[in-house]
Chain A
Amino acid sequence: MYIIIVGGGKVGYYLARTLINEGHEVLVIEQDPRKCERIADELGTVVLRGDGCEASTLAEAGASRADMLIAVTGDDEDNLVACQVAKVRFKVPRTIARINNPKNERIFKRLGIDVTVSATNVILEHIEHEVPTHPLTRLLELRDLGLEIVEVRIPPTSPVVGKRLADVKLPSPSVLAAIISRGRGAVIPNADTVFQAHDEVLAVVSPDIEAEFRRVLTGS
């Protein structure tokens, strides 16, 4: 694939290095001459100095034959515009924007950016995963389908401990994909599977019933 990366900071640099190693054709667009020099020294002639939001720079970069553009500068507005120019003017099939302010995730989606990556949200989700006061963790959003994969930890106080799956009324739509438990390892649950304290339940649910789903499994 031909991938254009807008922004040659730390994220852009490591992204470029990894993608090159994976065999992709990569071009980094960066304004700062010192950053350009560093990338050229270490990765070779894969850097173009210029403003990645400008159509003329993207034309020079050959954006019309790019398979993907990834905008990873430190400014959300620049990432938005780079993706929009790539998409509208050069018909780049896939655009990915890094988001610094997590509130912008929804806005970017509404404005037509295919994929957004928010470092802040990723870190927050990791914290949620580690902190037991959050019994439900969102692992993956299947945005186009309106579903998400979540993990719920069953606390010892939960009303479902000791109950069979068939006897627990879960809200719809939800499907349990796996239960990881201390004693049994990972199991694909069936109607007779019994919940145990500290089980980690992996499930596909609709975001609308996420709170209710958590309430049923944890009792809070």
Chain B
Amino acid sequence: MGCGRVGAMLAWMLDREGHEVTIMDIDPNAFRFLPPDFKGIPIVGNGIDEDDLRRAGIETADAFVAATRGDNRNVMACQIAKHIYGVPKVVCRIFDPIREDLYRRLGLVTISPTVVSAKLLKEALEQ
């Protein structure tokens, strides 16, 4: 869910490894980030709308990743995937480190690009 730079690159990487990938974005123009050789399925839809999620195949998905710009949108979509549809693997991108900490404690697998980039930048400075 979310076809920005990160979502598109992740989708492409998974696609190259032979996974069946569906990528969803609310904006049809977002799919321009996908390379021409991407074999997965782009779907225009809202990741926090149950009907759209079902259309994208959430009921049979093995994994779900939310990588839109909106933390709350990602959190809500991941909770729907995990708690309503029982998707086995769910990963949620949350920029705000405090919110990330809270939802990690509530059982979501979370990645905060803010924390990760700050750490990497600091490491690069220290080398």
In this complex, how many residues of chain A approach chain B with their Cβ under 8 Å: the count is: 20
In this complex, how many residues of chain B approach chain A with their Cβ under 8 Å: the count is: 20
Contact between A76 and B48 (Cβ–Cβ < 8 Å)?
A: yes
CB closest chain-B residue, reference A103: B50
- Dominant secondary structure of chain B at its interface with chain A: helix
Contact between A53 and B72 (Cβ–Cβ < 8 Å)?
A: yes
Contact A81 to B75, CB < 8 A, known contacts A101-B49, A107-B50, A110-B84:
yes
The yes or no answer to B76 lying at the interface (CB within 8 A) is yes
The yes or no answer to A203 lying at the interface (CB within 8 A) is no
Contact between A54 and B72 (Cβ–Cβ < 8 Å)?
A: no
Contact A54 to B84, CB < 8 A, known contacts A77-B76, A80-B76, A81-B76:
no
How many residue-residue contacts, CB under 8 A, span A and B? 51
A108 to chain B, nearest CB (A): 9
A110 CA to B83 CA, complexed, in Å: 8
Contact between B98 and A77 (Cβ–Cβ < 8 Å)?
A: no
- Dominant secondary structure of chain A at its interface with chain B: helix
Using a CB–CB cutoff of 8 Å, the interface residues on chain A facing chain B are 53-56, 75-78, 80-81, 84-85, 88-89, 101, 103-104, 107, 110-111
Supplied contacts A53-B72, A80-B75, A85-B102, 9 more A-B pairs, CB within 8 Å: A53-B71, A54-B96, A80-B72, A81-B72, A84-B75, A89-B102, A107-B79, A107-B80, A110-B84
